[in-house]
Amino acid sequence: MSASTIGAGIDRLDATVKVRGEARFAAEFPIDGMVFAALVYSTIPKGRIVSLDARAAEAAPGVVLVMTHENAPRMRPTPALLTSERANGGNDLPVLQDARIRWNGQPIAVVLAETQEEADHAATLVTVRFAGEPARTSFEGAKPKGGEVGFHMGERLRTVVGDAEARLRAAPFMVDAVYTTPGHSHNAIELHGVTVAWDGDRLRIHDASQSVTHTAWSIAQVFGLDETQVHVTSPFVGGGFGSKLLWEHQILAAAASKLAGRPVRLVLTREGVYRIVGGRALTEQRMAIGADADGAFEAIVHTGTVAMTDHNSMAEPFTLGTSAAYAARSFLLEVRTAKLDMVANTYMRGPGEAVGTFALESAIDELAHGMGLDPIELRLRNDPERHPIKGTPFSSRHFRSVYRTGAERFGWADRRAPGERREGEWLIGLGCATTAYPYVRMPGGAARITLRRDGTALVSVAAHEMGMGTATVQTQIAADLLGLPVAQVAFAYGDSTLPGLVLAAASQQTASVAAGVAAARSDLIGQLLTLAGNDSPLAGLFSDQVATMDGGLGARDDPHRFESYASILSRAAQTELSVEASAPLPDEAETWAMYSCGAMFAEARVNAVTGEVRVTRLLGSFDCGRILNAKTATSQFKGGIIMGLGLALMEDTQFDERSGRIMNPSLAEYHVPAHLDVPEIEVMWTDIPDPQAPMGARGIGEIGITGVAAAIANAVFNATGKRVRDLPITLDKLL
């Protein structure tokens, strides 16, 4: 039998080309005759353009043209994400089609020039006069006027089980508090960029994308094209986290290219990303838990309001994690929306769960402290046997194991009462929180397997590599399914012409692609047996009687009945055999409650004089099913934890409610964790396959961020005795 590499921590297959600088990202494709673009942005949150004077810009050196709403090609509104199966726009607005201003930072002109420097300079010469209108920029002011219940993935974000408010009031122990989180902006290392070129009525786009097929379809709708006329490629992406979807810049580049008759490269500046690429919306959450004398939860109330816009469909679903985390006799879960005139908010790593777990897990820590219980013990007493609301059985759940093994490894037994542990000026505390994220597999998983006579295989899927190791793990999976060494399998991805409708989101790409590859492999075996014919040692065998092994097919009950792929294809006089298939519809999550869970532990030091917080240790103990690659999994877990550290201590999109403008649009002013901020991080996992998931694996890309903010906040409380309910935890909140 061929040795399986599943679980092995093999190096990423794209590592060499990246280290050598040979990997071409979206803004690195050279095209003859290409011009460079710069954008001009609105400086008011709502109103219209009264006049726009581009004459000085047009006369500047190197300028090819200036595109505004007055000369832009006619285009249809952008199909917004989740409004149809293939839509992936950040909003549903028309791009540069009228004089209307809908947010502060909206693109209002595109300057094309022979060099980037000339384009950037000319953009500063465009003068604009606006007529402002009353804008909704105050979150407090928008709450009474808005307040509609939000939707997520077509589901209304309101769940009622029993009378939670009555049970809460009657409970002998209760916590009822408000937790807030600010807006967060995307800051992938690779700026959002695109290189586009028209060939007649066909459009070629090199994009930084986590949704190539969705982008091809959506842009086709904007320009009135057939989807086959738009070809999107995205072989390398320098980070996405929910932001590398379809925004104004791809459409503006394509429109300007059409107008100029030349290829265009448009790369957003860091400030430009803040202006037109949405991030996580701010939240205000009421979290209330009532418990009986034994700690069993009588009621869980998780309600609140999130900011969003009129022109997108993303209400930050902070209650999703709460609905499946703990058993309770009653629930009231609800997300309401306050509509603001701002850049459309969007998905960001761990949408909903990242900020929702801050409220839930902080409240559980508060409740445990009030009851005099160890916070781990309180969580274990409320570990559900089935999904708390749906009642479906868990496909696989090892909640108690991750807490017990994690606590032992972290040294939880050394935890003391709040404020008791001190070293000089530093107060030291330990905190924990539950991490959780659902298993997701969206429809659209399909794959093509091309098996060659030389014993190699090419697996092709319209999947995405954003740095998480997709190409490596999928090559491992394909090699395992085909009975081939990894070195004999190639994986093609990042191209809208390949099979599959795969979105790299919701930690679901691995399962979706694996299901598609498994379906193609099943069809491939059937076709190989047909080709083998009566002269083969496999003659008379059916698909379920053979297995892939050692570069061929063999009878399951007789290893001597074997024939290599090369032999089968040679006798059939074929150089290769190509098979394409789609995965069955994902119905496993309807029958089973499929969730990953974990325990996050944090050690925090707080300076008693200055209030400075330093996180000195983090440990994540996870139950995510089968781990497919130990090295890439470790990287994913740690990456999520580091983003959680930023969420807890520093990230804050400063939105000026007077102007509707983001005031810290740079990495100098918007702080993310740097090397010196990141402490020792340890990760561990159960590695127990989920019997209902393809390859036994549940997604791991997002669970790492969940629970981190709460674990750190709980550690800060344990160190100081002060409870911080408003993120980020800055020193002014502790002094």
pLDDT at 121 (0 to 100): 98
**Is 504 inside a domain boundary?**
yes
Strand ordering across the sheet containing 595-607:
422-423, 426-438, 595-607, 613-623, 680-685
Q: Count the domains in the chain.
A: 3
Q: What angle do CA 647, 648, 649 make, to 5 degrees?
A: 100
**In this structure, are 379 and 459 located in the same domain?**
no
pLDDT at 147 (0 to 100): 80
Domain encompassing residue 359: 155-166+280-440+590-733
pLDDT at 214 (0 to 100): 97
**In this structure, are 342 and 259 located in the same domain?**
no
- Higher-scoring residue by pLDDT: 551, 144: 551
Count Cβ atoms below 10 Å from residue 280 Cβ, excluding itself.
30
**Is 610 inside a domain boundary?**
yes
**In this structure, are 285 and 418 located in the same domain?**
yes
Residue 605 pLDDT class (50, 70, 90 cuts): very high
Mean pLDDT of 196-201: 98
Please list, in sequence order, all residues whose beta carbon lies within 8 angstroms of the beta carbon of residue 291, skipping any fewer than 6 positions away: 171, 172, 173, 174, 297, 298, 367, 371, 378
**In this structure, are 408 and 458 located in the same domain?**
no
**What's the pLDDT tens digit per position in 619-652?**
999 999 999 999 999 999 999 999 999 999 999 9
**In this structure, are 507 and 490 located in the same domain?**
yes
Continuous segment of H or E residues that includes residue 159: strand 158-161
Please list, in sequence order, all residues whose beta carbon lies within 8 angstroms of the beta carbon of residue 521, skipping any fewer than 6 positions away: 449, 478, 481, 482, 548
Count Cβ atoms below 10 Å from residue 255 Cβ, excluding itself.
25
Instruction: Look at residues 560, 585, 610 and tell me which one is the last residue of a structural domain.
Output: 585
Computed over every residue of the chain, the mean pLDDT equals 97
**Is 14 inside a domain boundary?**
no
**What's the pLDDT tens digit per position in 395-424?**
999 999 999 999 999 999 999 999 999 999
Residue 527 pLDDT class (50, 70, 90 cuts): very high
Strands 202-207 and 230-233, sheet pairing? parallel
Q: What are phi and psi of 708, to 5 degrees?
A: -65, -45
Residues with catalytic roles: 702
**In this structure, are 38 and 106 located in the same domain?**
yes
Whether the per-residue pLDDT at 117 is higher than 70: the answer is yes
Whether 237 and 209 have beta carbons less than 8 Å apart is answered as yes
- Rg for the chain, CA atoms, rounded: 27
**Is 23 inside a domain boundary?**
no
**In this structure, are 689 and 627 located in the same domain?**
yes
Instruction: Look at residues 550, 585, 620 and tell me which one is the last residue of a structural domain.
Output: 585
The answer to whether the predicted template modeling score (pTM) of the entire model surpasses 0.95 is yes
Distance CA 687, CA 195 (A): 42
**Is 9 inside a domain boundary?**
no
Q: How does DSSP classify residue 394?
A: B
Distance CA 357, CA 647 (A): 12
**What's the pLDDT tens digit per position in 345-374?**
999 999 999 999 999 999 999 999 999 999
Share of the chain above pLDDT 90, in %: 97
pLDDT at 257 (0 to 100): 98
**Is 397 inside a domain boundary?**
yes
Instruction: Look at residues 555, 585, 615 and tell me which one is the last residue of a structural domain.
Output: 585
CATH code of 229's domain: 3.90.1170.50
Mean pLDDT of 330-337: 98
**What's the pLDDT tens digit per position in 494-503?**
999 999 999 9
Q: State the angle between helix axes of 708-720 and 630-649 in degrees (0 to 180), rounded to the nearest 10.
A: 50
Whether 406 and 430 have beta carbons less than 8 Å apart is answered as no
**In this structure, are 414 and 349 located in the same domain?**
yes
Q: How does DSSP classify residue 585?
A: P
**In this structure, are 487 and 465 located in the same domain?**
yes
Whether 320 and 152 have beta carbons less than 8 Å apart is answered as yes
**In this structure, are 431 and 533 located in the same domain?**
no
**What's the pLDDT tens digit per position in 446-490?**
999 999 999 999 999 999 999 999 999 999 999 999 999 999 999
CATH code of 678's domain: 3.30.365.10
What percent of the chain is helix, strand and coil (3-state, nearest 5)? 30, 30, 45
Q: What angle do CA 637, 639, 641 make, to 5 degrees?
A: 70
Nearest C-alpha neighbor of 295 from the set 220, 190, 380, 230: 380
**Is 184 inside a domain boundary?**
no
**Is 181 inside a domain boundary?**
no
Mean pLDDT of 172-189: 98
Count Cβ atoms below 10 Å from residue 155 Cβ, excluding itself.
11
**In this structure, are 540 and 602 located in the same domain?**
no
The helix/strand/coil state of 286 is strand
Whether 318 and 282 have beta carbons less than 8 Å apart is answered as no
Whether 405 and 687 have beta carbons less than 8 Å apart is answered as no
Count Cβ atoms below 10 Å from residue 723 Cβ, excluding itself.
16
pLDDT at 2 (0 to 100): 63
Burial code (b: 16+ CB inside 10 Å, e: under 16) for 158-175 equals: ebebeebeebbeebebbb
Whether the per-residue pLDDT at 1 is higher than 60: the answer is no
**In this structure, are 447 and 432 located in the same domain?**
no
